[in-house]
Chains A and B, each alone.
Chain A
């Protein structure tokens, strides 16, 4: 098996008595785009800082490209491009100066650094602002400059902390598309943390859901959905013109194979079951002479997954502080079964 490019073993970090990261295990292979997903304060940034050797872990260790991040941070930093969530620049320097400074720090020779920085700026769409001072930049422009700043060191791994914060939707789309293509063509490994579900969903091969310092679940979106909505993973919504007898309809629908749950309201039937039998359901309605106006298959996106986790998490917090460990353990058990 291929050696994972990022390997985290039992990483734990305390801030005083607060456990920011709790016994984290994670492997990310070369070329993957991994999304670290969680609410604010879940420990995502702390984990990232430990990966770069900028914060010392209380226990456990992180390896990037085979280097221990806390023991040998310099080779790690040489290979990893990192963009912090609140990316800042020297306000009194121009974009080009800011970028060439970082280039020089990474050992790019003086003869080529200006040229390379200029090219990077053109490519992230800042050609009009090359000689503008970074202090005058808008948030979105700073984010683009941050990306140029990450790319100028020609990294193997890119770590982006909340990269899409504060960019307009078109910018986000371009940005994520660029990230995806970079990963594909260069074999770059990308770790990005976010609480923007849709964006993560668009680009990530795998996601990890990170709450309260713990990785609750990990895998691609399909697996996560299948696990979470085990009882009835498939759902179909059928909209009808009129329903005369909802109760009878419900009973009849439940006769169909593999169907577990049916809810019938005035003009809509929601049917969920173990298998995808949408054609059978439609045939059933047509056969009975109903006027079907719409059929919609429900897919579980990250939104629902996220929601589900947070609902559980919230409940647990409200219910009882002490039982939180138990609750989380039951979650772990659930996902270990996979």
Chain B
């Protein structure tokens, strides 16, 4: 034991010496944490499985769209037919849904799987208190968790998007228009925001519930509610509360439809679907019903990128707002919480 202490002695004095000279710049603890969290995520089985699943659906939908691309481009009635790369992302022959629909479905699962045990597993493991005893600010922990997952998601989607463009270039040999490229980048950004919403929701649940199983089930329950039950519930409510559409005038029907659409748009996946379809199909000019007066004189031509973005802006800001408020709430709860086990 004595030799041990003598050894520690050396270590300690060595440490204080180097601290005095200050010859190195210590790494920012926040970046250290982000680095560790990214490594954790990438090594975890659930991420590998979900990323594999997304990659498989990507390959599947790309295969289907590539085998149908010649037909789609030749279709002269379609104003979007010349956007080859957007077509690659959207067309299908009915055997497989297009890629963005898959993301609408799998994205929430990815987000939930990355965040549901962010805080509570650290707490039940006893690592959170040890982490908090290091010279780091408390919010660095939750920020690092969020940023790390976001980095992983962004990398995944960006590389899939670029893979698609690169593959398309090699196979078709058609050069990509700048507007198409911007649209695809916007689609990638939108997908990242969408997954980030579910990620934040599950982080919030992981702060709220002490058991990882509870927070995971709760997150999946919310996801199921929004994907399946909300629409059913809305239909029942519409039937029960709104008058019979056969007895209504055109204007009334329009306004009631508007109300129903508004309620449908409380669902994050609806926002995502609306926004992606507008971005990926340049000829979509409105997400609601249009009146005959509005349609009068309209030329069935694609919109510019800027105009498409203007159309989807409410959806995008809704998604961002939901994401930010989830994160703010989990931040608040985490900062206020007793961290002892």
Contact = CB atoms under 8 A, between A and B. Distances in A.
Interface in B1-53: 1-2, 4-5, 7-9, 11-12, 15-16, 18-19, 24, 26-27, 29, 32-33, 36, 40, 43-44
Interface string B126-148: 11011111111100000000000
Interface residues of A, number: 48
Contacts of A78: 135
Given A105-B29, A105-B33, A154-B16, A123 B127 contact: no
Query: Which of A75, A81, A107, A116: most chain B Cβ within 10 A?
Result: A107
B126 A86 contact: yes
A77 B133 CA distance: 6
A56 to B, nearest CB: 9
A110 B7 CA distance: 22
B127 A90 contact: yes
Nearest to B124: A88
Contacts of B291: none
B1 A177 contact: yes
A45 B16 CA distance: 30
A90 B125 contact: yes
Contacts of B33: 105
A154 B11 contact: yes
Contact of B130 (A49, A87, A110, A177): A87
Contact of A154 (B12, B135, B339): B12
Contact of A55 (B40, B125, B338): B338
A107 B26 contact: yes
Contacts of A280: none
Contacts of B32: 101, 104-105
A181 B27 contact: no
B340 interface: yes
Contacts, number: 109
Interface in A187-210: none
Nearest to B128: A88
B134 A109 contact: no
A209 B8 CA distance: 31
Provide the main secondary structure of the chain A interface: helix
A279 to B, nearest CB: 38
A186 B130 contact: no
A166 B19 CA distance: 35
Contact of B127 (A52, A77, A89): A89
A154 B18 CA distance: 12
Nearest to B28: A107
A74 B338 CA distance: 18
Nearest to B140: A105
B95 interface: no
B340 to A, nearest CB: 6
Contacts of A80: 133
Interface string B254-285: 00000000000000000000000000000000
Contact of A105 (B1, B8, B134): B134
B340 A45 contact: yes
B4 A55 contact: no
B135 A123 contact: no
A187 to B, nearest CB: 10
Query: Which of A46, A86, A149: most chain B Cβ within 10 A?
Result: A86
A107 B29 contact: yes
A17 interface: no
B76 interface: no
A85 to B, nearest CB: 9
Interface in A85-116: 86-92, 101-102, 104-112, 116
Interface of B: 1-2, 4-5, 7-9, 11-12, 15-16, 18-19, 24, 26-27, 29, 32-33, 36, 40, 43-44, 125-127, 129-137, 338-341
Interface of A: 45-46, 49, 52, 54-55, 74-75, 77-78, 80-82, 84, 86-92, 101-102, 104-112, 116, 119-120, 123, 146, 149, 151, 153-154, 174, 177-178, 181-182, 185-186
